[in-house]
Structure 1
Amino acid sequence: MTVTYFKIAKHNGSNPWDVSKIATDIQWTTDIDFSAGELKFTLLEVNEGFFPANGDAVSFQWDGNKVFYGFIFSIDYKSDETVSITAYDRLRYLKNEDYIVWPVGSSLQRFKTIMGRIGAPYKVVTNNTFKLPAEVSDGKTYFDMLKSSIDSTLTKTGNRYFIRDNYGTIEYLRATAVDKNTYLPTKSNLIIGDKSLLTEFTLSKSIDDAFNAIKLVREDDSNKKRKVTYKTATGSSASQWGKLQKVEKADDKLNNSQMETKANQLLHQYNKETKTLSLSAIGDMSVRAGSRFYISIQDLRDIGIGTREVLATKVTHDFQSNWTMSIDVEVL
């Protein structure tokens, strides 16, 4: 396993320089939570006539696999004449801010509009037709706009979508299956566990972001009154955790029945303990943020977490002679 292609060029791809022999400490991180993919690396020396600049394009391949295409955003030139560089993929341009009046439409339609605004190549891997109400995004980042629409879709349908950069092409795809027969392009038969790639793990459980009581408030502008819908969990979470209440403002166009439905949806979404499993493992190119694979770890089976499919939420690959990866996964 080794670097098979590593070049830095001008932003438009011209005047490429091969840095594959002088690059070290190469680290690639992807995150499902609306963050740009990041490539960090160090150049041990700089060839005469060449010095990287912010905005330069970076292309990186490992063992023949296309890993990263993006642009330099920071450079540290050190006294030992090494150069530390941070580059981001095209998702970085979703931090741009804008004003957009959204008509009724799906998060996929909003994705397509934003891709047109930033001029990025894109691909629709999984379709989505669920319609969201019209709204105005004023001075928000494109990331925030997409996150809002995708979160709303998740709350109302249970289907989780996300975006990623695949070597220069931004993709829109689904992370969760509607049923066991649904095809997911991110799913593999890879097993990480006691006898397969795993070196160590940490399991964390948290209720920091949990709520077991929902208060949904609707303002009625016509009579200046408030309609409040209140829902509490009927299970054991209140006695076990204490009361954890979330207040959310509802659309003033919702009727009483719709208020009840939305409050129940929010309670279903938030009334749960978050389990995060961090894995350290031998590198495998099929694993990146948004990937689905299986875990099989005896120590986890002993506490009730058996062999199961999981979703990788954040993945960092360290491309060294002993290629490794650190993975955060969601355990439902």
Structure 2
Amino acid sequence: MVQLKIINGEREYTPVVVGDIKWSTERAGAPGILTFDVVKDENLNFQEGNLVQLFMGEVPIFYGYVFQKKRNKGKIISVTAYDQLRYLKNKDSFIFEGLTATQFITTVADIFSLKVGEITDTEYVIEKGLLNDKTLFDMFQELLDTTLMNTKKLFVLYDDFGKLTLKNIEDMKLDIMLNQETAEDFDYSTSIDGETYNQIKLAYDDKEAGYQKGFEEKDEGNIEKWGVLQYYEKINSNVGIEKRAKTLLELYNHKTRTLSIKNAFGSPKVRAGCSVAVSLHLGDINVNHYFVCEKVTHTFQGDMHLMDLTLRGSDFIV
């Protein structure tokens, strides 16, 4: 059973909830969202900006703030609350030199008075950067993407019950298995449309030569199968250009595999960015693999707790 709290100054409310409580998270670029309907009575009084907390027993699940209220004639208030990542939609501009993604994130978090928790050291130093008129989400993601391309390490930024948290995705594996018994339904798809590239082209301005130069890395075998799927990027200099191109090809030169699971038995540990083990039979293909949670939506109603997951993986074990 979950417990919902709304805190308005010194007053704490445990409102009567009607229907489902839904908690959704995405791996990148979006805040956590909590939606619910409550009964308006003579005691309940809360406003936009008030604190919302959700617990499952003693386990803290969500810590965020009321951003929207809708009321109907039946005295039902529909509430949308976001976690702290909602404030990463703010825009700004920054110039920096010689910082890791970790250092930049903690510096900007301090400027915007964000609460910080466990922040893993990304280690890779980014020489310099100009981030002009971008959301904080986009800034942070740009630095994390640069780190990924140069180190092959993927980091996940999320809100852990009111604290900004950054972790290596390898440290977010859960001891949870999804299979035929724990999932009601699923959809599986493979695609080369979107984030699949078999040719990488990086270009830079050679000031001494007076014209643009570039470097290419490609997979002739996959070009033969799929045609040319090119990733193009203009970079500042040729420093590390070969390594960057090879890393990009390694990251993107494969089919994307997406698995959507509906109405699985819920666990409060599961959020976007975590990896879960999946063991399913998809026709003549056996899936027995860890998948990354791209999006997770939990549904709570009374003692019922279910979750829908959008998962991404690399290769299946057939």
Asked if Structure 1 and Structure 2 have the same fold, meaning a TM-score greater than 0.5 normalized by the shorter chain, the answer is: yes
Task: Give 2:273's match in structure 1, choosing from 286, 290, 295.
Answer: 290
**Does 2:226 correspond to 1:228?**
no
Kindly indicate whether the alpha-carbon contact (under 8 Å) linking 2:17 and 2:36 is maintained by their aligned counterparts in 1: no
**Does 2:295 correspond to 1:314?**
yes
What aligned pairs does 1:39-188 form with structure 2 within 5 A after superposition? 39-43=34-38, 45-176=39-170, 184=171, 186-188=172-174
TM-fit CA distance, 1:218: 1.1
The CA distance in 2 between the partners of 1:94 and 1:284, in whole Å, is 27
**Structure 2 residue matching 1:134: 3-state secondary structure:** strand
Amino acid of the residue matched to residue 254 of structure 1?
A: N
**Structure 2 residue matching 1:203: 3-state secondary structure:** strand
Runs of 5+ unmatched residues, structure 1: 177-183
**Structure 2 residue matching 1:54: 3-state secondary structure:** coil
Q: What is the number of equivalent residue pairs in this alignment?
A: 311
**Structure 1 residue matching 2:99: 3-state secondary structure:** coil
Task: Give 1:31's match in structure 2, choosing from 26, 31, 45.
Answer: 26
TM-fit CA distance, 1:254: 1.8
Runs of 5+ unmatched residues, structure 2: none
Name the counterpart of 1:215: 201
Identical positions, percent: 29
**Does 2:248 correspond to 1:266?**
yes
The CA distance in 1 between the partners of 2:107 and 2:306, in whole Å, is 37
TM-fit CA distance, 1:260: 2.4
**Does 2:206 correspond to 1:206?**
no
TM-fit CA distance, 1:325: 0.2
Name the counterpart of 1:249: 234
Kindly indicate whether the alpha-carbon contact (under 8 Å) linking 2:257 and 2:312 is maintained by their aligned counterparts in 1: yes
**Structure 1 residue matching 2:125: 3-state secondary structure:** coil
TM-fit CA distance, 1:120: 2.0
TM-fit CA distance, 1:49: 4.5
Deviations 1:44-87 (A, max 9, x none): x2121534321111111123321111011111112322111110
Name the counterpart of 1:277: 259
Which structure has the highest strand share of the two? 2
The CA distance in 2 between the partners of 1:211 and 1:128, in whole Å, is 26
Amino acid of the residue matched to residue 139 of structure 1?
A: D
Deviations 1:225-270 (A, max 9, x none): 11122222132x212211112221021x325xx3322222222222
The CA distance in 1 between the partners of 2:232 and 2:175, in whole Å, is 41
Kindly indicate whether the alpha-carbon contact (under 8 Å) linking 2:122 and 2:147 is maintained by their aligned counterparts in 1: no
**Does 2:306 correspond to 1:324?**
yes
TM-fit CA distance, 1:203: 0.8
The CA distance in 1 between the partners of 2:126 and 2:64, in whole Å, is 32
TM-score (norm 1): 0.88
The CA distance in 2 between the partners of 1:49 and 1:201, in whole Å, is 43
Task: Give the direction of change, closer, same or farther, for the CA distance of 1:124–1:49 in structure 2 (3 Å limit).
Answer: closer
The CA distance in 1 between the partners of 2:32 and 2:106, in whole Å, is 20
TM-fit CA distance, 1:223: 4.2
Name the counterpart of 1:179: none
